[in-house]
């Protein structure tokens, strides 16, 4: 089904009920041609529903902005930018956006429905992923990130919860809700100086200071934090409160994953250290360059290449 943008006036709201009697104002039964089956996730900006397009029985994940937030111009604008940015992306390692629009004053995005778990859930179940499997996921996500970067899109919230794993093992990057579209035809200024956007356990130092400083190298840093989480079972800077974590991203050297997981090869540590460099100029400058290192046949060997060893040495300085 081709991607589309449309408006309609045929959503149906039914009274909400949960065992906890929470503060949800309503439960969606339908939204345009989409028939709601159940709510599968909820966050600060809205909910995600499993749904079916009644026109052709296509299963979708329907992301709906919280009705109470629609009147907030900044949040509504951010939601629309997410949809317009994501609709430009067409890659096997990115969750596909099928349609987006407004229905009975509700803003929504219909996305490809993934039945498998998030990477966050996978790590929680396995605690530490095998090095080889983590490398496969890294390669796939980096390919998707490279495609997004080619479209001028910065994700700004890469983390295990935003990587979905399909039943056949494919990793797909999702939720471009914090993406900044660099292309001037779509760019909308959504943040002001000094505002931090992102998830603190995975945020790049420059992004922690000011979200407007984030670029694709910030995404590479966040992906490095995600890789460390896969290998160790927790993010690299997970101790203390929000201020402690942000300070560690800015000031603390990258922790060595081999302390918690001695099976991690030295070549992986070298690439991780470069990804987690404090200065963007010291990281891989593009996802394509990172992918070259991730696809090196030296990375899992006992004696990695000189380039990888130099990366390790630079990261320890």
Domain locations in the chain as residue ranges: 17-112, 119-316
pLDDT surpassing 90 at residue 207: no
pLDDT surpassing 60 at residue 313: no
Residue 287's pLDDT is 97
pTM of the predicted model, to two decimals?
Answer: 0.81
Residue 176's pLDDT is 75
42 in helix, strand or coil?
strand
Instruction: Report the chain's mean pLDDT, rounded to a whole number.
Output: 80
Residue 228's pLDDT is 97
Give residue 190's pLDDT band: very low, low, confident or very high (50, 70, 90).
Answer: very low
Average pLDDT over residues 95-105: 84
7 in helix, strand or coil?
strand
Is-contact 160 225, C-beta < 8 A?
no
Is-contact 65 75, C-beta < 8 A?
yes
Residue 304's pLDDT is 54
Residue 188's pLDDT is 42
CB-based contacts of 52: which residues, under 8 Å, 6+ apart? 34, 35, 37, 58, 59, 60
CATH fit for domain 17-112, picks 3.40.50.300, 3.30.200.20, 3.30.530.20, 3.40.50.1110? 3.30.200.20
Average pLDDT over residues 247-273: 94
List strands edge to edge, sheet with 46-53.
4-8, 97-103, 106-112, 58-65, 46-53, 34-43, 27-31, 12-14
pLDDT surpassing 80 at residue 169: yes
Residue 61's pLDDT is 92
The owner of tokens 């460390």 is 228
Give residue 33's pLDDT band: very low, low, confident or very high (50, 70, 90).
Answer: confident
Residue 243's pLDDT is 87
User: Which tokens belong to 299?
Assistant: 């990375």
Residue 220's pLDDT is 97
Question: pLDDT tens digits for 249-259?
Answer: 999 999 999 99
Question: pLDDT tens digits for 34-66?
Answer: 999 988 887 767 788 999 998 889 999 998 887
Specify the CATH architecture of the domain 119-316. Orthogonal Bundle (1.10)
Active site residue 157: yes
Give residue 189's pLDDT band: very low, low, confident or very high (50, 70, 90).
Answer: very low
User: Which tokens belong to 101?
Assistant: 């629009």
β-pairing, 97-103 with 106-112? antiparallel
Residue 303's pLDDT is 61
pLDDT surpassing 80 at residue 139: yes
Continuous segment of H or E residues that includes residue 154: strand 153-154
> Which of 104-118, 174-188, 196-210, 265-279 bottoms out in mean pLDDT, i.e. has the lowest?
174-188
Work out the widest C-alpha separation in the chain, in whole angstroms.
63
Residue 66's pLDDT is 77
Residue 148's pLDDT is 92
* Sign of the C-alpha dihedral computed for residues 298, 145, 137 and 44 taken in this order: positive
Residue 108's pLDDT is 87
Point out the catalytic residue in the list 53, 66, 157, 293: 157
User: Which tokens belong to 46?
Assistant: 């809205």
Residue 302's pLDDT is 61
């Amino acid at each position: 089904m081709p991607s589309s943008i449309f408006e309609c006036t045929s959503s149906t709201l039914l009274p909400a009920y949960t065992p906890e009697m929470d503060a949800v104002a309503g439960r969606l039964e339908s939204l345009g041609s989409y028939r709601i089956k159940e709510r599968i996730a909820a966050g600060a900006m809205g909910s995600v529903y499993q749904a079916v397009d009644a026109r052709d029985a296509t299963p979708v994940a329907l992301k709906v902005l919280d009705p109470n937030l629609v009147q907030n111009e900044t949040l509504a604008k951010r939601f629309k930018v997410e949809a317009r940015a994501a609709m430009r992306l067409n890659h096997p390692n990115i969750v596909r956006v099928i349609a987006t629009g407004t229905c009975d004053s509700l803003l929504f995005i219909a996305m490809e429905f993934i039945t498998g778990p998030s990477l966050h859930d996978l790590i929680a179940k396995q605690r530490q992923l095998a090095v080889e499997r983590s490398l496969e996921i890294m390669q796939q996500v980096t390919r998707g990130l490279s495609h997004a970067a080619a479209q001028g899109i910065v994700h700004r919230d890469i983390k295990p919860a935003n990587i979905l794993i399909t039943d056949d093992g494919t990793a797909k990057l999702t939720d471009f809700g914090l993406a900044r579209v660099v292309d001037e035809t779509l760019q909308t200024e959504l943040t002001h100086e000094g505002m931090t956007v992102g998830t603190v356990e995975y945020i790049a130092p420059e992004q922690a200071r000011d979200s407007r400083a984030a670029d694709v190298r910030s995404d590479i840093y966040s992906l490095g934090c995600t890789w460390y989480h896969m290998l160790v079972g927790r993010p690299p800077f997970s101790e203390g409160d929000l201020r402690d974590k942000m300070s560690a991203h800015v000031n603390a050297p990258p922790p060595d994953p081999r302390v918690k997981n001695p099976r991690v090869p030295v070549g992986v540590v070298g690439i991780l250290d470069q990804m987690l460099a404090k200065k963007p100029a010291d990281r891989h400058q593009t996802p394509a360059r990172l992918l070259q290192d991730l696809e090196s046949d030296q990375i899992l060997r006992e004696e990695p290449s000189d380039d990888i060893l130099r990366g390790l040495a630079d990261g320890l300085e």
